[in-house]
């Protein structure tokens, strides 16, 4: 039987849920009232949540398309968005 890691569920979280959990962790750590061992555990989870949010944002960027306009100024179609500009 394989043993699951405490952050295995992060990979299944939608962006909004991961971001909310990450914000809650940051808030708790900023307050400074969390015991050391718990701080380390939630910091580690925060790293996993940040990585999940980053991955989901990159996936979303890859799907975004910009609307192209024809010579008459009307929408003519779509093209991949150049996110580096």
pLDDT tens across 51-62, in order?
Answer: 999 999 998 877
Count of domains observed in the chain? 1
25, part of any domain: yes
pLDDT tens digits along 7-47: 889 999 999 999 999 999 999 999 999 999 999 999 999 99
2-6, 14-18, 50-54, 64-68, range with the lowest pLDDT: 2-6
Output the pTM of the full model. Answer: 0.71
Say how far apart CA 55 and CA 19 lie, in whole Å: 12
- pLDDT of residue 83 exceeding 60: no
Classify residue 10 by its DSSP letter: G
41, part of any domain: yes
Domain that holds residue 45: 8-80
3, part of any domain: no
DSSP alpha helices (H): ranges in the chain? 15-31, 36-63
Q: Higher-confidence residue: 3 or 11?
A: 11
């Amino acid at each position: 039987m394989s043993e699951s890691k405490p952050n295995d569920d992060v990979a299944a979280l939608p962006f909004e849920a991961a971001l909310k959990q990450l914000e809650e962790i940051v808030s708790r750590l900023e307050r400074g009232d969390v015991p050391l061992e718990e701080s380390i555990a939630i910091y580690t989870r925060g790293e996993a949540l940040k990585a999940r949010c980053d991955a989901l944002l990159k996936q979303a960027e890859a799907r975004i398309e910009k609307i192209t306009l024809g010579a008459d100024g009307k929408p003519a179609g779509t093209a991949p968005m150049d996110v580096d500009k």
